[in-house]
Structure 1
Amino acid sequence: MEAVILEERADGVTLINGKEYMTDAKGGFVPLSLVKPQHKLEDETVRKIIDYAINLNAQIARFRGHTMTDLGGLDALIAQEYGAKIGGAKGNRTYQTIDGLMKVQVQVADQIDFGAELQVAKSIIDECLTEWSADSRAEIQSIITRAFNTDQEGKINRAEIFMLMRHQIDDPRWQRAMDAIRDAMRVTGSKEYVRFYTRAEITDAWQAVTIDLAKA
């Protein structure tokens, strides 16, 4: 029996005893000669883009690591040499060049989850909706539906919950529901966000140095 010799190439082609194949989505080997030219071109383009994306992702991760290390070193040096601290009690801080044309901001955001009190709030809100007429506060009903629907990870929509709390409604039950939501809030951790800004002149508005691909 002839030994099977497999060699996988970076371009997605597998050599089996010297013959070229491509692996399909089911894991089967398709002779390269049977692959449509447009599909092969699409495959090559996607592989090239993903390769760039992986390398860029690694660069951004290294950049963030170096940035936090540099800022942490600066914080430690200032604390040691001058007995001073940059930023407020929560950990937000801003670093700026002497000419006022560049700055780095570190913002600390609390990560919030909700406890069992949230279900109490939901039941009170449902009670309010039952008594309110169908035509009144339609926009609030829409927000309530979105707020208490879970996302793909089973998480409550926090942004919609906070939007719900901004509505000032005199009904005492509504006020109790909002109190229950506040009681349900749990700070489970925090996350640091680093943002970068520049401007050409001191009188100009700050312009963000965008690293988010969707906003670049």
Structure 2
Amino acid sequence: MSNETNIPEGYMRNATGHLVPTDKVREQDRLRDEVTRRLVLRALQISKELADFKKQALAEIEDLIQIAADRYEVTIGGKKGNVSLASYDGRYKIVRSIADRITFGEELEAAKTLINRCIDRWSEGANDNIRALVDRAFRTDTKGQIKTAAVLELLRLDIDDAEWRRAMEAIKDSIQTTGSAVYVRVYERVGESEQYRAISLDLASV
């Protein structure tokens, strides 16, 4: 929104970049513009607050881990590992979890070819379901990326076939770890039970 500082008073910039006198813009368009901008500015503020919270939470959890390490005179190597913190009364819980980011190498294409050969070789019938599962596993998302969970789901199928096993080996060989993602999840106890519910930090869940 930084380019909006160049808009002269009494004008609005339209979607093609032209300046239009405000009194020539329909009232409904002005109202829509006002609501959109107000909500986006609030969303940007919330996004920054969430980023600040995550940074603070990770720093304080790391400090707590270091305090424990110092107390017992041990060195804790690396940043891997999940950590769960709880309030003294057990009402609240915070979990830091670290998950590897996984992509697939060129071996995945070999796996796909082997799997299709298996399905073509097998008799018809229930294997139609397997073909549907395979098609779903190798389908890309809106960003053109293979869905990791769907591919890994194939590894759970217990099929006694040499070519299928070669395909599964190809999938395993194709797995590449490209980094890790760190998550902070916050929970609150449900009444006096042993169950916890997540305090949602996801817009779709609140």
> TM-score range, shorter-chain basis?
0.7 to 0.9
The letter for the 1-side match of 2:7 is: T
Within the candidate set 89, 93, 101, 1:99 is matched to 89
- 1:136 aligned onto 2:126: yes
- Inter-partner Cα distance in structure 1 for 2:74 and 2:92: 22
- Counterpart residue number, 1:14: 7
Q: Is the 8 A contact 2:190 2:197 kept in 1?
A: no
- 1:150 aligned onto 2:140: yes
- Inter-partner Cα distance in structure 2 for 1:132 and 1:126: 10
- Counterpart residue number, 2:149: 159
- Inter-partner Cα distance in structure 2 for 1:191 and 1:81: 29
- Inter-partner Cα distance in structure 1 for 2:24 and 2:11: 9
More deviation, 133-142/163-172 = 133-142
Give the secondary-structure state (helix, strand or coil) at the position aligned to 1:151.
coil
The letter for the 2-side match of 1:101 is: R
Within the candidate set 64, 85, 95, 1:74 is matched to 64
Q: TM-score, normalised by structure 1?
A: 0.83
- Counterpart residue number, 1:185: 175
- Inter-partner Cα distance in structure 2 for 1:45 and 1:201: 39
- 1:56 aligned onto 2:46: yes
- Counterpart residue number, 2:18: 28
Larger radius of gyration: 1
Q: TM-score, normalised by structure 2?
A: 0.87
Give the secondary-structure state (helix, strand or coil) at the position aligned to 1:215.
coil
Q: Is the 8 A contact 1:78 1:85 kept in 2?
A: no
Q: CA distance change for structure 1 residues 26 and 168 in 2, over 3 Å: closer, same or farther?
A: same
The letter for the 2-side match of 1:75 is: I
- Report how far residue 118 of structure 1 moved: 1.1
Q: Percent same amino acid among aligned pairs?
A: 36
- Inter-partner Cα distance in structure 2 for 1:99 and 1:76: 23
- Taking only aligned residues, the RMSD between alpha carbons, in angstroms, comes to 2.4
- Report how far residue 135 of structure 1 moved: 4.3
Q: Is the 8 A contact 1:197 1:208 kept in 2?
A: yes
Within the candidate set 188, 193, 199, 1:198 is matched to 188
Q: CA distance change for structure 1 residues 199 and 84 in 2, over 3 Å: closer, same or farther?
A: farther
> Could you report, residue by residue, the CA deviation over 1:122-163 in whole angstroms, capped at 9, with x for unpaired residues?
110121232345543223222222222333433222121012
Q: Which has the higher contact order (CA 8 A, sep 6+)?
A: 2
- Inter-partner Cα distance in structure 2 for 1:126 and 1:32: 61
- Counterpart residue number, 2:110: 120
Task: Tell me the number of residue pairs that the alignment of Structure 1 and Structure 2 aligns.
Answer: 202
- Inter-partner Cα distance in structure 2 for 1:102 and 1:145: 42
- Inter-partner Cα distance in structure 1 for 2:201 and 2:108: 36
> Could you report, residue by residue, the CA deviation over 1:65-117 in whole angstroms, capped at 9, with x for unpaired residues?
1111111111111111223689xx95111111222111111111111111222
- 1:172 aligned onto 2:165: no
Q: Is the 8 A contact 1:100 1:202 kept in 2?
A: no
- Inter-partner Cα distance in structure 1 for 2:154 and 2:82: 27
Q: CA distance change for structure 1 residues 190 and 135 in 2, over 3 Å: closer, same or farther?
A: same
